[in-house]
Structure 1
Amino acid sequence: MPFYHATWDRHLPSILRNGLGGSAPDRKNFDCEDGLYLATDPSAALLILIEAAMIDSGPYRISPREANESMRLIVIDDSRIEACLCIPDPNLQRKGIAFIYKGVVDVRGMPVINMDTAMKALPSHVPDVHDKPS
């Protein structure tokens, strides 16, 4: 099962050089526990980045179009993740979808997807918890 992390393209050189979580971020998106945000669903990873941009755009005020062009989704093979360093996101009731990772992830060679490609890959219908399997 892959993990996903959404970031801004300006961070990719540092991420590829130091690993994901290998250098201090230029700012913290939320008032939450330190660590690297990982999701098991690509849409969750993207939504966290979008929410962070909406809550606190700080010195990086950009238009929605510029944001769309600047977002990247890193697809991380689960073999690069140590399960003992994953803490379930305490802010979500639904378990198993997002984690705070307490380590550094080498993402060299992992796919980095732009927003348009990521959105095309998402399902057009996200099942509701009340949907019954067919």
Structure 2
Amino acid sequence: MPFFHATFRKHLASIRRHGLGAEGHGANWPGCAAGVYLASHPAVCVSVMLEHYLAYGDPSSVPSEHLDEICVIVIDDSRVRSDRLLADPQTSRSDSFVYSGVVDISGLPVLGLEEALAG
């Protein structure tokens, strides 16, 4: 079962270089505990990202431009240690998780927003 993580395209180079969740590289939205947020379906991680964008995004930004920048990393479950994966403490959903560690995403596919939501 793959996992999915939504991010903005501008962060991909750093994530590929340092790993998803690497200390000092990137940050979660305000109010989100430390960790890498993963979902079992791409639409779940996109919806959580949109929810946080609406709550904490720059009010002077152009939403359509930000939507074009959202992408979803498809993470093979062999890259995620099950002993570091917990239920997302911010939701009662059973398909959202928080991972304590760094995920190497080298060679993994990245979906555009439309492609992620079509699946």
**The two structures share one fold, judged by TM-score above 0.5:** yes
Runs (5+) with no aligned partner, structure 2: none
Structure 2 match to 1:112: 110
Correspondence for 1:124: none
**Pair 1:45 & 2:42 matched:** no
Identify the residue that residue 127 of structure 1 maps to in structure 2: none
In the alignment, what sits opposite 2:93?
A: 94
CA separation of 1:70 and 1:61: change in aligned 2, threshold 3 A:
farther
CA positional deviation for 1:119: 2.1
Extract structure 1 runs of 4+ deviating beyond 6 A: none
- Alpha-carbon RMSD across the aligned residues, in angstroms, is 1.7
Query: Is 36-45 or 85-94 further displaced after alignment?
Result: 85-94
Q: 1:25: Cα distance to partner?
A: 4.8
User: For 1:4, what is the secondary structure of its paired residue?
Assistant: strand
Where in structure 2 are the equivalents of 1:36-75 lying within 5 Å?
Answer: 36-58=36-58, 61-75=60-74
TM-score, normalization: structure 1? 0.81
Count of equivalent residues: 119
- Compare the two structures and name the one with the higher helix fraction: 2
**How far off its partner does 1:30 sit?**
3.4
The question of 1:85 aligning with 2:84 is answered yes
Instruction: Answer yes or no: is the 8 Å Cα contact 1:14–1:23 preserved in 2.
Output: no
Moved more, 109-118 or 72-81: 109-118
Deviations 1:63-101 (A, max 9, x none): 222122100100000000000001101222232x01110
